[in-house]
Structure 1
Amino acid sequence: MAELILGQTLAFAADPFVEGPGAARHEWRGAVLVEDGRIAAVGPADALRAAHPRARVTDYGEALISAGFIDAHAHYPQTAIIASWGKRLIDWLNSYTFPEEMQFSNISYAEDVAKRYFDLTLSNGSTTTVSYCTIHPESVEAYFAEARRRGLRALAGKTCMDRDTAPEGLRDTARSAYDDSKALLEKWHGSDRLSYVITPRFSPTSTPEQLSALGALWAEHPDCLMQTHLSEQTDEIAWVKSLYPQARDYLDTYEAHGLLGPGGLYGHAIHLEPRERDRLREVDAALIHCPTSNTFIGSGLFDMGGLTAEGQRVGLATDTGGGSSFSMLRTMAAAYEVGQLRHRALHPAELWWLATQGSARALRLDDKIGNLAPGMEADLVILDLASTPAIAQRAARANDIWEAIFPTIMMGDDRAVQAVWVNGQPLR
């Protein structure tokens, strides 16, 4: 049976970084018609009710109906160590991340964390996540099996590390990284709503041989995405220079091994050289902004204004557990705060687009998810824009939709998430 979901609706006809807030389409009393897991129509509630009198109606009143949030860079194996105190990147990895990731050779442990991770992301309205797993194929199996059980669109890959900068219990080889990744890719990529992502952690933990092997795998499967980290912290960049003295810059360590291309997702990308910015734009790669992580571990301030003005493709992400929240609302708030420190106040339309259609565009999935439009997969989040007394009293003074939404961006959490729909089915 067709489902007619009523409430305020928010969609995008264009990129607000290019067209301004007018790129958004808002209906105070709107509706989304869902058939067979896809959006069949979006429009005024009265018109759609009249056109589809037999549709089953779910009325959310004044709540906001949006495309579900898309978290374009996360580490689900770090779920248990989120909000760990006092470390910068390299010390964070050695003190918290690597010891935790060693446990993911145990499939039962990986399955438990995967369940908890998706419980947390869905409770915060994220309907698509892109995760690094660990070097263990079991970690990938657990993530994809749990995502498939819930009907989610999800992306992930086995993290590859063969250099002795990683601990002995977390190292593979160039050969095993290729073989394991290929086997997992062949099993999971394109199965239901799942996509495999080729995943070298970053240049400091991979030898040139491993990067070349993964570059070869990507060339064999160009329909896959590739994810890695780039220029997150200045001491990391110095580390890369010491390990790859022949490279022109950090990006060149990937480019020289076939790991630069339009399907590349480059996490953080804070301290970029002019050549790196030019090359990333030329190949139409995606930069993934992780603002809560960047502030939590002291990485720096992403240049959202400059990069979007250049025409770079940008997505938004929690980067849990280096990021300090599973919430894309909190992530939008942090992106706004970082923008303010860079003297570029992001409009609520830009923030919302980054968390939905912008991240979908970064993943090359903007024809499937991230917007309310006919033909799109029906992954939705329904938000109470008065979820706490503090938010309610501010939203009551709103003169337009953006003044109504912005308090929830800045102060909202999982209490604002009234319902989540995945693939046309309500989950809560």
Structure 2
Amino acid sequence: MRARRHQHADVVITGLGIVSPAGTDTATAWKTTCAGLPTAAPDARLDGMPVDFSSAASAFDASGELGTDARRMDPFTQYAVVAAREAVADAAPGGGHWDPTRVGVLIGTAVSGLETWLQQAGRLRDAGARAVNPLTVPKAIGNMPAATVALHLGFNGPALGLSTACASGTTALGFGLDLLRAGRCDVVLAGGTDAPITPLMSSAFDRLKALSRRRDDPLSASRPFDLHRDGFVLAEGAAVLVLERAADARARGRRPYAKVMGYGESSDAHHLTAPDPNGSGARLAVLGALADAEVSTSDVALINAHATSTPQGDAIEARLIDRLFGRQTAVTSTKGVTGHMLGAAGAAEALFTALSIDQGTIPPTANFREPGRDIPEIDIVHGSARYAPVPVAVSSSIGFGGHNAVVVLGQA
């Protein structure tokens, strides 16, 4: 856990970009999420698998967005580049006049370029070594989204690929906050990306009993905190947020969406895949983030929970929320709409949380009907969006291996 009580410049979010099952731009994704419209559907890529549905970024057109450059990128890089491009255009409609040597790019991922590795393994098996694409490594390795975003947008600051499993997108935000506070960058593009929808990944998660098997009704499969939840829905996409110091945003007349008030992180040191049943590691990260933000639990109006729709994970998180925040803080999980975007999830949820703060709108937890018997009576927003001021909010992420990452956002 890190708690940093010292003077530092305020950091704000000035640009948003997303490619997701809910939409391949921010306006569409936000509208879908606020409407509580789930996105899971049968997926031809998973035909014949025990779980043959996903939440796909089906509206994404790689060649339309990227032209011939798309052929040199795995989908996880394609998503990141398009999301980053939207975020930069949003933050700096007139170009921003940023010093490119002072702009950093931090993009997290959980599984890297899985589609490329699988395709080329098939070529090796079927046609031998000379059939393997020479671009296999630069398409698939985990740093490529950050590197390619920097290349395409001409940024020369730090470009880092980060991986803390399903906490990766939130980890990128935390490290971006550090770079700005330390004065090493003036602007940071921080986010996450993943393109995991393959038979291998679906089968692997299913073997862990992590996925919903609601094949007869995929739309209702992702149901965080619900009595009938039975696992998460595999999803894909990317989200990127532009961070900069508040004084710099003011100087160029850019109104921010939200302030990045604090960040906390921890490790459960408990199990490869199962969270600590007492939630002690997640608790450290939450308390560290609140201390860093210099706010208390009573200041928090909204929690965008990690809540993936798994029986064990949702219950542990709900009990922690109840212990720390009581029943007066609104709770939502946007994974009811998007499914679980793995390494992109935390960034997407931070993006939605920033919009909740900016617009005073809390999206509902899609498919939530009745709390599980193991879920305490916390205030889960459901049915429809709730319109209320959100002065301070928490967005939390939990990853395999016991990674916990929490960001506190507030009104700028």
TM-score class, shorter-chain normalisation, is: 0.3 to 0.5
TM-score by length of 2: 0.33
TM-score by length of 1: 0.33
Structure of greater relative contact order (alpha carbons < 8 Å, 6+ residues apart): 2
Structure ranking higher in helix proportion? 1
Structure ranking higher in strand proportion? 1
